[in-house]
Amino acid sequence: MPELPEVETTRRGIAPHVEGREITEVIVRQSRLRVPVPEDLIDRLVGARIGSLGRRAKYLLIPVEGGGTLLWHLGMSGSLRIARVGELPKKHDHVDLVLDDGAVLRYHDPRRFGFVDWLAGDAEHDARLAKLGPEPLSEAFDGERLYELSRRRRMAVKPFLMDNAVVVGVGNIYAAEALFLAGIDPRRAAGRISRERYDRLAAAVSEVLAAAITQGGTTLRDFVSGTGEPGYFAQRLNVYGRDGEPCRRCGAELRLVTLGQRASVFCGECQT
């Protein structure tokens, strides 16, 4: 699933091609996505000019001048690419925004778990965004927040860190990597971790996400950036997907457990 760095990579990749451009045509080949494509989307968008792209958690925000915002979610396997007019669509290319310079913002989603929706009002008041926690690279996210929210919580720290009400966008890959960097066993009860260790964890979350964004996200089977290039952060993964392999730090065999119905790989020597 595209996580926060992949969505941010997409935003940065497509922004120079779409910001300030007028939408001249909207082509919907498949409207039955996780949220059905709004029936009036074409009427709302044709003739509108795109503003500055934003992102909230894993949602891509595409505002149009005059009011209203496209809320785009890539789901499990979705991607947004820049194509050109005349470039034939591939299978699973479901939605095109044709722009006034001949560029096409094209949405591809084999599993159709993503969606594009229209927000007429302030995006911050949408129910899907209103209750989200802070962005992990913002000043609102720190060890103190993790420590205070974790008190009396018996759940394991890894699913606690992946709770979008605690902090947004820390999915399975990056939670596993951050916990490794901070030296914290993902099975440890969230309420049994000290403030000092949460300070290290918050710093590790910021470090691993910033590095992933810089390198274009993680190479997963279905993910490519907005310009069609794969990510490269997978080359630096310490634990995710490496169960049974030696720890890069101490050489011990990495272990696999299931937490919150998600596979979790960790080092029993380096993470306590």
**Could you give the residue numbers annotated as active site?**
2-3, 58, 262
The burial of 129, by beta-carbon neighbours within 10 Å (0-12 exposed, 13-18 middle, 19 or more buried), is given as middle
Residue 202, classified by CB atoms within 10 Å of its CB into exposed (0-12), middle (13-18) or buried (19+), is buried
Round to whole Å and give the CA distance between 13 and 269.
39
Cα distances (Å, whole numbers) of residue 161 to 63, 177, 237: 30, 12, 18
